[in-house]
A and B are shown apart, each in its own frame.
Chain A
Amino acid sequence: MGFLDQFWQLTIDGLMVGSLYAVIALGYTLVYGVLQLINFAHSEVFMLGSFGGLFVARALLPGDGSVPGGLESVGLVAIGLGAGAICGGLAALTLERVAYRPLRRRSAPRLAYLISAIGASLFAVNLAGKEFGRQNVDLPDLFHNGTVFKLFGADVSTQSLVIFAVAIAMLVGLDRLVAGTRLGQGIRAVAQDADTAVLMGVDVERIIIVTFIVGGLLAGAGGFLYAMTFNASYSMGFVPGVKAFTAAVLGGIGNVRGAMLGGLLLGLVESYGGYLFQASYKDVIAFLVLVAILMIRPSGLLGERLGRAA
């Protein structure tokens, strides 16, 4: 079968994964917009969120080993999403308090933040490995009616439909939050100029915390979706983390809509590339994309500023 035969199938898979990258990328981009700081430990927020969602969903599975279906599945997904989001938000909040806030109080140099985030990431990954074991954890397939409909001859499964729909809903919701609410106005104000925002009466401290929490909620919910499709493990955060970061840079880091576009594009590129070359080189493709953008257009497709473009 040639590439063209597979084209639509690859597109659908790419969009599904890409929408997850977009959801994670938003966390990088929001924190970057507000603090001009790459939150290296964001991938661990994602990991902890997916564990949280997965464990809650597993606890609610019927004990007799039967797999739920229909409305039960929808309920499980909703609960898992909620639990994942809460765990992600808590993880992001803790991260901000422990690894970032003490440094902000001192106006520490930027290098200190990066290193502190690396330390926090190392700590979280290995503690999760110790507490939850170092094997993959997964959830039985919640949707087993397979293909819902065919699109240009390609199968669209319920699973990918659910993931895509939820991810897009979160993206649109976040976009409305940033563009249309008072909180979003605060976020954009801090992103444009934190010092001036203080003078205008914006509580920068609060905005920073809320930004971390929003990023964490999204990453946690996205983590549950990811774990539902693939699986969860203590070291799961790294690869999607780097890819989401690539997506954020691709769209223009600090730019909310850029992160969405970047995520979807990266998912597609990876899906096509993985088919054309070799599936095991998928991760390399994302990295090459990152280096290429940094060389050709470091400000990304849609430009960098959260304040301007959102």
Chain B
Amino acid sequence: MVKLLAPAGSIEMARAAVDEGADIIYVGPLGFSRRPYESEMSDDAIREAAAYARGRGAELRVVLNTFPTPYDFGRFVDKAVRYAADGASGFIVTDIGLLRTLRREIPDTVLHVSIGSGISNLADAAFYRDAGADVIILPYRWDVAEIEAVRRASDIGLETFLFETVQTGKLCPGKCIMSSYLRFRDWKEIEGSRDFHGSANRGAKECYRVCQANWEFGAAGAAPVELKLRRDARLMLAQLPGFVAAGVTCFKLSGRERPVGMIRDLVRFYRRAIDEVVAGAQNLDHHAAELAELRGRWVREKTKRVDTLMDRAASYAK
């Protein structure tokens, strides 16, 4: 069974994704899921989204993929137990300690390892399986051969982003704290009262995507070149049949911070494409025009978002 995992940055997005055929939607509680508060949800909204999804045969996962502070660990566990009682069928987590604790406290739940874990090889996947994970999201640097290799090494479920393979660049997220080194803001009231210093990796303090801004780079004394630190990932399509054949069982659409209309269109598009692949299609070229249009919208939104985040960063303290 191949599943489509879609974002729900708001209750409206949750409804749109379910209506368009997402098998699973994922939501982030305020202050716990590596996104600005505008793309996270209150507990009441999460409960409502869970009910909407379950009522239409879909599932809801809760993203608890920030790294807890040691002081705040118990709050993560308490929230997870409550969400499970409210209808969440699983969680997306990063911290290994949290993974093991949730496996013990909510044994029937589905545990995904977040991209924030920064895995880089098949032995990593085997480690997380040992630690109690059910599904691991693979780096979007991996091609079909690497997916097949990990499939042979472990029976852990395999999930990939709907992005094309990019094999270079700094490892983000999972091995990066550039943003919090450069800029910082305090918790906002809406994110709840928290008693520790945060960062993009720890909730609040959004990542300002400093890697996607323009930098000057060069050896000391030499003329610098202007560049970005990371290449943008492109929405994928042609790789879908190969990934499914290699054993990927879950495709994740990114974008809790995107407009609802864009997520609606993307879920509809990928629902069709995945259904065609499951039915045996090997070539999806007939979707090329629609893919190009969606890619264009994706890039335009991304550019706007980077500008917004950099403007915010400029307004915060060092």
Q: Are A and B associated in one complex? A: no
